[in-house]
Amino acid sequence: MSNQILLSHGSGGLLSHELVRDIFIRHFDNPTLSAEGDSALLPALPAGRLALTTDSYVVQPLEFPGGDIGKLAVCGTVNDLAVAGAAPHYLTAGFILEEGLSLDLLERVVISMAATARAANVQIVTGDTKVVERGAADGLFINTAGLGVVPPGLALSPAQLEPGDVLLVNGTLGDHGMAVMMQREELAFTSTLKSDCAPLNGLIAALLAAAPGAVHCLRDATRGGLVTVLNEWAESGVGITIQETAIPVRDAVRAISELLGLDPLYAANEGKFVAAVAPEAAERALRALRAQPLGREAAIIGRITAKHAGRVVLETPYGAQRILQMLTGAPLPRIC
Amino acid sequence: MSNQILLSHGSGGLLSHELVRDIFIRHFDNPTLSAEGDSALLPALPAGRLALTTDSYVVQPLEFPGGDIGKLAVCGTVNDLAVAGAAPHYLTAGFILEEGLSLDLLERVVISMAATARAANVQIVTGDTKVVERGAADGLFINTAGLGVVPPGLALSPAQLEPGDVLLVNGTLGDHGMAVMMQREELAFTSTLKSDCAPLNGLIAALLAAAPGAVHCLRDATRGGLVTVLNEWAESGVGITIQETAIPVRDAVRAISELLGLDPLYAANEGKFVAAVAPEAAERALRALRAQPLGREAAIIGRITAKHAGRVVLETPYGAQRILQMLTGAPLPRIC
């Protein structure tokens, strides 16, 4: 096999079949995928409501401190299911490859996807590969879709938010966005910073088990960061207040944010969620999160309020209040 | 809203929300999508085995005679489910947009997807949009994943193929591939030729109802065309013989194929499948196909044999035999 992606790898012919067999089936390695039908026929799922989600990934660079586009593609879709209360089971993977892409790089990304899928206890059961000519894409784009099951009786949504609910995050904010920007801008001064990219389904299962019935809504704080999630929640008709000093942000993230003129509260995370929990269960929820590796730096950051409905308000240490609006411009393109 | 896609449309902020609301939710128009969760929570499905599939679409040009990338994305995924014997129910849609893409074009594509989804009786229940900077993609790529249900007792796969099975196609071959090539090469001489792009789930349901238990295997003949499907089937250990004169090919497709040095039997179709049917049911199956608009030109083209296992053999009108091998080079890039 050539060490670069050729247009023939996307033809549906012999090279396509070799690529599927030698890279995808070999590393993803499960009987459903290996059946190689046009559709995966799934083993029976547990009882509950099905949840379906999809995301495309166009992050640049393809590899960055703490992860790569493949790990991101698995985590992102697993996490979208998990914050809906669904146990993720099966993933699809669609690859758009640019002619000339290194096969070694592709294999590293696929190995990373396979390892992340194993860590998240999901299987990649069906896929697709397209190749476009040089200059028609930027190396590699990945789409994943995911299927999961919400157990009977569980309903998480902004409609469940109630004044008094306590807001928690499972750790520091902005790490993914700033790690990618650091790599992209070739800023070398904070070598310790890496993406928080991680599958959160195990942590969320622990949280739901520790505070049954008390978790009202969850959302992963990806593109647009914490503030975007909270504004989406506020649109359901509640008010939200958060305390600036309570929000965990790493010093390295603060430093890069200031250097680049960005706000870590709007920066992407790929291993962080926000939870709204009934007040009487908040301490229990916090302990449950902190007991897990991916929740060690969890914190209570604010509350749902009956005041200032529709608005997200930041309280500063000096007693001032600032409205945090939805991101309107200055996007960070291709952060995920 | 600007009449072009901006990087801010992919930021997760205000413009992203407007795009989702004014284009995607408006046209796809169903309550599951409108709930706007990170995952779609699906209404209960009928009993049966779940089937899951995905495909990415990178066709160029984005609009061509008989279809566009959006229609293709819905048909392709619906058809992958249908040939697995699954009734398609729900689709996801992931869009990768190039900065500067015309919003009018995007809306036309989305309207086309919505119309095709209605025709196929499926719902697009969740989606995602990413924007990359000018030059990092080629206008618009779409990924769709699809979820369907195989009714209890139905099992279609190459393992069901038996010597004696009759091979049928539901109409002329090569129309999609040659229509796209015609458009791309700006060949104007065959204005009647268009892509066969169509959702086949209704036609396949009619076939399965007309010949219950007698349909052994189905496959849509997309990238790589008829010969690729038959070679994949032959790999399961059977031999295959087809008659050159029995294979329906339009004169316009033949003409363009000769002009471009291509073989219509390797050309992509987006509304054609191959069926292997028990011999006693073959005539009934053919009548059932011909009774439907998408099967009017259906034909019996060959048989599964116990001879020349692993090989696909073409019998010419002059009595010669030719082995049809898997496509090895000369791909037609970005045909779907």
Per-residue HEC secondary structure of chain B comes to: CCCECCHHHHCCCHHHHHHHHHHHHHHHCCHHHHCCCCCEECCCCCCCEEEEEEEEECCCCCEECCEEHHHHHHHHHHHHHHHCCCEEEEEEEEEEEECCCEHHHHHHHHHHHHHHHHHHCCEEEEEEEEEECCCCCCCEEEEEEEEEEECCCCCCCHHHCCCCCEEEECCCCCHHHHHHHHHHCCCCCCCCCCCCCCCCHHHHHHHHHHCCCCEEEEEECCCCHHHHHHHHHHCCCCEEEEEHHHCCCCHHHHHHHHHHCCCHHHCCCCCCEEEEECHHHHHHHHHHHHCCHHHCCCEEEEEEECCCCCCEEEECCCCCEEECCCCCCCCCCCCC
Show the domains of chain B with their CATH numbers.
Answer: 7-150 (3.30.1330.10), 158-323 (3.90.650.10)
Between CA B75 and CA B81 the distance in angstroms is 10
Pairwise CB contact (< 8 Å): B333 & A11: yes
Between CA A31 and CA A16 the distance in angstroms is 20
Output the pLDDT for position A188: 67
Pairwise CB contact (< 8 Å): A334 & B41: no
| pLDDT tens for chain B, residues 1 to 336 | 569 999 999 887 788 889 999 999 999 999 988 887 879 999 999 999 999 999 999 999 999 999 999 999 999 999 999 999 999 999 999 999 999 999 999 999 999 999 999 999 999 999 999 999 999 999 999 999 999 999 999 999 999 999 999 999 999 999 999 999 989 888 766 668 999 999 999 999 999 999 999 999 999 999 899 999 999 999 999 999 999 999 999 999 999 999 988 999 999 999 999 999 999 999 999 999 999 999 999 999 999 999 999 999 999 999 899 999 988 765 678 989
| Partner-chain residue, chosen from B42, B141, B148, that has the shortest CB–CB distance to A49 | B42
Contacts with A86 from chain B: Cβ below 8 Å = 39
How far lies B31's CA from each of B34, B39, B52, B213, in Å?
5, 13, 22, 36
pLDDT at A115 over 60: yes
Between CA B161 and CA B218 the distance in angstroms is 10
A161 min Cα distance to partner chain B (Å): 14
**What digits encode the pLDDT tens for the residues A44-103?**
999 999 999 999 999 999 999 999 999 999 999 999 999 999 999 999 999 999 999 999
**Order of all β-strands in the sheet with A273-277:** A215-220, A273-277, A166-169, A299-305, A239-243, A312-315, A321-323
Mean pLDDT to the nearest integer, A198-204: 98
Contacts with B95 from chain A: Cβ below 8 Å = 56
Residue A207: closest CA among A117, A298, A122, A302 = A298
Question: Mapping DSSP to helix (H, G, I), strand (E, B) and coil, where does residue A323 land?
Answer: strand
Pairwise CB contact (< 8 Å): B327 & A11: yes
- How many inter-chain contacts (A to B, CB under 8 Å) are there? 246
> Which residue in B has a C-alpha nearest to residue A327's C-alpha?
B13
Pairwise CB contact (< 8 Å): A331 & B86: no
Output the pLDDT for position B189: 63
**Which ipTM score applies to this complex?**
0.96
A334 min Cα distance to partner chain B (Å): 7
**Contacts with A87 (C-beta within 8 Å, 6 or more apart), sequence order:** A46, A81, A148, A149, A150, A151, A201, A205
| Partner-chain residue, chosen from B41, B131, B219, that has the shortest CB–CB distance to A84 | B41
| Partner-chain residue, chosen from A57, A80, A95, that has the shortest CB–CB distance to B39 | A80
Disruptive mutation site among B56, B90, B134, B235 for chain A (greatest number of A CBs within 10 Å):
B56
Mean pLDDT to the nearest integer, A30-43: 88
Average pLDDT, chain A: 94
Contacts with B132 from chain A: Cβ below 8 Å = 58, 138, 333-334
Pairwise CB contact (< 8 Å): B39 & A333: no
Full-model pTM: 0.96
Output the pLDDT for position B332: 76
Contacts with B223 from chain A: Cβ below 8 Å = 10-12, 16
Percentage of the residues of chain A whose pLDDT score is greater than 70: 97
Output the pLDDT for position B192: 81
B195 min Cα distance to partner chain A (Å): 18
pLDDT at A263 over 90: yes
pLDDT at A264 over 70: yes
Between CA B275 and CA A29 the distance in angstroms is 29
Output the pLDDT for position B20: 93
* Cis preceding linkage at A61, omega within 30: yes
A146 min Cα distance to partner chain B (Å): 9
pLDDT band at A179 (very low <50, low <70, confident <90, very high): very high
Contacts of range A258-263, beta carbons closer than 8 Å, 24 or more positions apart: A259/A187, A260/A181, A260/A185, A262/A177, A262/A178, A262/A181, A262/A330, A262/A332, A263/A227
| Partner-chain residue, chosen from B11, B53, B126, that has the shortest CB–CB distance to A52 | B126
| Partner-chain residue, chosen from A50, A130, A222, that has the shortest CB–CB distance to B56 | A130
> Which residue in A has a C-alpha nearest to residue B227's C-alpha?
A13
Pairwise CB contact (< 8 Å): B55 & A128: yes
pLDDT band at A189 (very low <50, low <70, confident <90, very high): low
Contacts with B222 from chain A: Cβ below 8 Å = 12
> Which residue in A has a C-alpha nearest to residue B128's C-alpha?
A55
Pairwise CB contact (< 8 Å): A13 & B224: yes
Q: Which two tokens stand for residue A19?
A: 């690529």
